[in-house]
Amino acid sequence: MKDKIFDQEMKLNIQDTFTSELPEDPIMGKQRRQVTDACFSYVDPSPTAAPKLIHVSKEMLDNLGLTIEDSKSTEFLKVFTGNSVLDKTKPYAMCYGGHQFGNWAGQLGDGRAINLFEVVHKEKKWVVQLKGAGATPYSRTADGLAVLRSSIREYLCSEAMHHLGVPTTRALSLALTGDKVMRDVLYNGNPAYEKGAIVSRVSPSFLRFGNYELFASRQDTSTLKTLVDFTIKHHFSHLGTPSKETYIAFFNEVVQSTLALIVHWQRVGFVHGVMNTDNMSILGLTIDYGPYGWLEGFEEGWTPNTTDLHQKRYRYGNQPNIGLWNLYQLANALYPLIEEVAPLEDALDQYRSGFPKAMVQMMREKIGLTTEKGKDIALIQELERLLQEAETDMTIFFRLLSKIEKADTSNGLEQVMESFYTPSELSSSLREDWQAWFQFYGNRLQEESLSDIERKKNMNLVNPKYVLRNYMAQLVIDDAENGNYGLLEELFDLLKNPYSEQADQEKWFAKRPEWARHKVGCSMLSCSS
């Protein structure tokens, strides 16, 4: 039996709704099993050998109603490493299914995530969860643990994405467990022991498309309706009481929030890497940071996930299509409550027609256009073609583009030259194409009323200067493996202001170093990353 903390030092306003309003698995324990007619199973985190807190987000402490002093307490350490459970709380793992790489996988569930409780603070509700806290009934053949490497990546990225303005789950803390965990990083038959770690993740909800899919696949319409009604009550209450019309409106909102999310991903050059339906948030948040990556060279066909290298299903340029495919699966799951195809198709058609328009508008903003002209599509398409003709750093290119003066764009290519990985390899014909594009761009800017200063300001609000490049995360990991956490703190602070110049951090405004081109953790990642 897990130790309970009765005399709480931390003052948390705990108001659990998930476990009080949804059906539970009547079977206790961690034995792997198929769970039916239930949305979750009660399960305690596994104790760890020697827990050690190595970082905490001050912002998330405040969001939960906690202080820095709270985070230094023994109680905080025990609770957020799974070694104690707060009184009157019952940790649980969610039951869900999902399509993985386009194939129905059946029951999946929280295999290495355990939800601790829900906290209400400043009129906002947060679900607090531990990732890597041990086995659950949904772990299948896995151990439910996480390693320092993947935990650092999730901890840094979720907070970095938030400050980029991308909807995301958040992270509260990062801790070592003191245990060794066996992992085969690239699934190539070379397992090794790594340092165990736990991330405390926080979100308004961790519900994903797969929660609804599982009940639909089992024709359990009753539990499906209960879950959808719960979701509407707590996260879409503005839609009113549940009804067929409400369910349609609910699906429409999920469609639009998913569209908006993926446009944000494309804007900053983020590639999720594993867009299975069990990794798609019902709230339109980025969820489950595994083999993700940021574009270094602008490449529509790039994926960071080694598992997906041949199919490239989840490549950068295909993320919008996968978003739509996943929404089709959600539509199928909700159909038993609606029993009409037309309104679901209408919502999906809105995504299909709306995404190209949203992408063009997003690209207009990236290149500093505030008005709409018919020629803009050709301008953008030619730019995207040129960016792929020679290896060009996406983040650096768009940041430098803001320095162009519309009165004279003849030196445009020289202004962005730093973004090319090998400028000397630009052929004469490619240089001519670039010069022609800059002339096209300059003529288009002449039709804009904004001054160069105003345009630069606007562009620098949507084109980040700093993103969490994989090599940067790997440097943090390498240091942390040796017990050094200074770089973790440095990048955590850097990425809180990704659009600011931060002149003292210019070293991070740089192309991927050559040593990282083919290094594991930088260019090659797996679902264990």
Domain boundaries, the chain: 4-206, 210-365, 372-462, 470-516
- Name the residue type at position 27: I
Which helix H or strand E contains 117, and what residues bound it? strand 113-121
pTM of the model: 0.96
Instruction: Please tell me what DSSP assigns to residue 65.
Output: T
Output the pLDDT for position 21.
98
Would you state the pLDDT for residue 472? 96
By percentage, how much of the chain surpasses pLDDT 70?
97
User: Distance (Å, rounded) from C-alpha 291 to C-alpha 337?
Assistant: 35
Is 43 in contact with 137 (CB distance < 8 Å)? Answer: yes
Residue 177's H or E segment, with its range, is strand 170-183
DSSP element (H, E) containing 171? strand 170-183
Contact of 382 with 348, CB cutoff 8 Å: no
User: What are the distances in angstroms from CA 232 to CA 208, 252, 261, 335?
Assistant: 14, 13, 20, 16
Contact 359, 263 (CB under 8 A): yes
Catalytic residue among 44, 110, 229, 278: 278
Is pLDDT of 6 > 90? no
SS3 per residue for 123-143: CEEEEEEEECECCCCCCCCCC
Average pLDDT taken over every residue of the chain: 95
pLDDT of the residue at 1: 47
Question: Which of these, 395, 389, 341, 390, lies nearest to 512 by C-alpha position?
Answer: 395
CA 303 to chain centre: 15
Q: Check pLDDT > 50 for residue 384.
A: yes
| Phi, psi torsion values for 316, nearest 5 degrees | -50, -50
Task: Flag whether pLDDT at 521 surpasses 90.
Answer: no
pLDDT, one tens digit per residue, over 8-46 is 678 899 999 999 999 999 999 999 999 999 999 999 999
Q: How much is the pLDDT for 405?
A: 95
Region 313-330 average pLDDT: 98
| Residue 479 appears among annotated catalytic residues | no
Residue 523 has pLDDT above 80, yes or no: no
